[in-house]
Amino acid sequence: MARYLCQDRPDILQLEADVLETRPGAVLVASSPFYPGGGGQLPDRGTVAWAGGEAPVTGFAPDAAGVWIELAGDAKVSGRVVMSVDRTFRSLMCEMHTLAHVVNSLVYTGFDGSLLTGVRMSGDGTFSVDFDLPGVDTDRLRGLEAQINDVVARDFPVRIDEMEYGAAQAIPGMFRAKSVAPPPQDDGMIRIVEIVGLDKQACGGTHLHSTGQARAAQVLKVDNKGRQNRRIRIGFAT
């Protein structure tokens, strides 16, 4: 797995770079500020501008050469480009991803190491997290709302680090998903996201600098999705 610039420098939301390859409606660049999506987090939105025009980003397509940026229309880009990340959308994704880690931590520690079975972040400002939780009273899961907001109020810092993949695998709880795990980077390392004093786990997504940057959360719904799966849908308090 390649390492993305946004994982090390999430503050870079506009970048000028050389075009390496191009095809109608897509471009491959030397360096990109965009997060292409993964781990339940939606890909970044934004634009690419060049001497001949500008187009919104519609998606990303990884291959052996790198991650192609797909554009609206079939323009053929050349020369240097300026890539601009939609700041508001990136901020929303960071906020929801950090809160998803908070929920994950509270369920993992409060429900006997229950594992994650899915994460879905939405552009409407809601997200859902699924857990392997057979027989759990839904009122207990609704009660997580107060705990989530306590973590927000206490403003825990969020720190990014990395660890050798094999060493991370040997630590219980470093990988939280029941059936999938983030792949190692090309150098054999794995990215670790730590909410200092609360949680530490492998993750490739973008995050807030601290939990206090998030808005107060609200548990909107708890659903039974099958015999064992429980889905917690979360939004922001109004």
Residue 143 DSSP code: T
Please say if the pLDDT value at position 226 is more than 80. no
Please say if the pLDDT value at position 1 is more than 80. no
Q: For the residues 120-139, what does the mean pLDDT come to? A: 93
Given a contact cutoff of 8 angstroms between Cβ atoms, the answer to whether 40 and 120 are in contact is yes
Identify the structural domains of the chain with CATH numbers, from first to last: 13-85 (2.40.30.130), 90-236 (3.30.980.10)
> According to the per-residue pLDDT averaged within each range, which of 69-73, 131-135, 223-227 is highest?
69-73
Residue 76 pLDDT grade (very low, low, confident, very high; cuts 50, 70, 90) = confident
Token reading at 191 = 């990215």
Q: In angstroms, how far is CA 94 from the centroid of its own chain?
A: 7
Please say if the pLDDT value at position 161 is more than 90. yes
pLDDT of residue 225: 83
pLDDT of residue 64: 87
d(CA 85, CA 33): 7
d(CA 186, CA 198): 29
* Mean pLDDT, all residues of the chain: 94
pLDDT of residue 230: 94
Phi first, then psi: give them for residue 138, nearest 5 degrees: -65, -25
pLDDT tens figures, 26-37: 999 999 999 999
Q: What is the dihedral of CA 56, 30, 33, 9, to 10 degrees?
A: -170
Does the model's pTM come out above 0.75?
yes
